[in-house]
Amino acid sequence: MVEALDVHKVYRTGQRPFPALRGVTFTLQPGEFVSVMGRSGSGKSTLLHILGCLDRPTSGQVRLGGMEVSRLPARELPALRRSKIGFVFQHHNLLPSLTALGNVMLPLRYSRISTREAQNRALALLEEVGLADRAGHRPAELSGGEQQRVALARALVNEPELLLADEPTGELDSQTARHIVGVMRRLNRSRGQTFLLVTHDPTVGEAADRVVEMLDGRIVGPKAAVQGGERPAHGLEP
């Protein structure tokens, strides 16, 4: 379970402080597939960074799997990210100097797992995303969709509790974007990990269990899932 409790984030750059988040409270249940939508400047990416332990809230609490993470010392955050969180970014996701296999293995380098074990895990995930035969190719030799699938495999290789994606389909054409979302949805169902996607893309919204809408640093309301209303919106406070 992922919980945000009255989270505020104020950036103090320049003359005036800028409140990026203004008391965000919500809960993600294990295995949910949730998208966060809103205009630029609504605070979506800030929320993602805080949930991903890349940044800390100015006030409020964040819990991952029951553990309060928002006040952890900075030196403990990398280990937390390694064990509990996976990231997929919009662009420049992969290291050009590594093959697809090397990119998927990358998080395991910092987990001190043996190379053989890391290789086995990485290959298994490439298999799951349908790219086992491209393991030896460098990113420059992969299409945009293939690169995002490799990024997805990398995000899952550490068996995280939470996968965070920041505009994962932002640079893809619509057909490829739908394909990627389909892969993510399938992985979410088969592996049971919680997925939170920040996006402008309605394709992603359509696939989500629920959509959270943000405006000016606040959650302004849930949107009901468009997929036949299978799961009701719940656990939200404006």
Partner 1 sequence: MEILHNLWQRRGRVSLTLLGIVIGVFALVVMGAMAERVNIMLTGATRFLADRIVIGERGGGGLFGSGTLPAGLASDIRQVPGVALVESAVALMLKDDQNFSFGMPDILEGVNVEEVARLSTKAAGPSDFKFAQGGWWQPQEHLKAVVGADIAREYGLRLGSALESRGKTFTVVGILQRMMTGPDKMAFVPIADARAILRDSHPVFRALDVDSLVGSLYAIPALGHNPDQVAQAIQERLPANKVYSPSEARKQIAGFSAVFNLVILGSTMVALLVGGLSIMNTMVVSVSERVREIGLKKALGAGDNDILKEFLLESLVIGLVGGLMGLLAGGILVVSVNHFTAPGGTTIFTVTPRLALGSLGFSALLGVGAGMVPALRAARLDPIEALRDR
Please state at what angle helix 115-128 crosses helix 144-156, rounded to 10 degrees.
Answer: 130
Least Å from the CB of residue 165 to partner 1: 12
* Binding of partner 1 by 12 (CB under 8 A): no
Q: Give the Cα separation of 154 and 147 in Å (integer).
A: 10
Amino acid at 213: E
| 130 backbone φψ class: left, alpha, beta (φ>0; ψ -120 to 50) | left
Instruction: State how far the Cα of 150 lies from the Cα of 47, in Å rounded to an integer.
Output: 24
Does 134 bind partner 1 (CB under 8 A)? Our answer is no
Q: What are phi and psi of 59, to 5 degrees?
A: -155, 165
Closest by CA to 44, choosing from 177, 227, 174, 201, is: 201
Among 8, 82, 191, 231, binds partner 1 (CB under 8 A): 82
Per-position x/- string for 88-117, each x denoting binding to partner 1 as judged by CB under 8 A, each - no binding: -x--xx-xxxx---x---xx-xxx------
- Tell me whether residue 97 or residue 229 sits nearer to partner 1 (CB atom): 97
**Smaller CB separation from partner 1, 46 or 203:** 46
What DSSP assignment string belongs to 191-222?
A: H--EEEEEES-HHHHHHSSEEEEEETTEEEEE
Q: Which is nearer to partner 1, 184 or 211 (CB)?
A: 184
Nearer to partner 1, 86 or 145 (CB): 86
3-state helix, strand, coil in the chain (%, to 5): 35, 25, 35
Asked if residue 18 binds partner 1 (CB under 8 A), the reply is: no
Q: Pick between residue 55 and residue 128 the one whose CB is nearest to partner 1.
A: 55
Q: In the window 151-180, what residues touch partner 1 (CB under 8 A)?
A: 154, 158
The answer to whether 57 contacts partner 1 (rule: CB under 8 A) is no
Residue 137 engages partner 1 in binding (rule: CB under 8 A): no
Which residues of the shown chain bind partner 1 in the complex (CB under 8 A)? Answer: 49, 52, 54-55, 75, 78-79, 81-83, 87, 89, 92-93, 95-98, 102, 106-107, 109-111, 154, 158
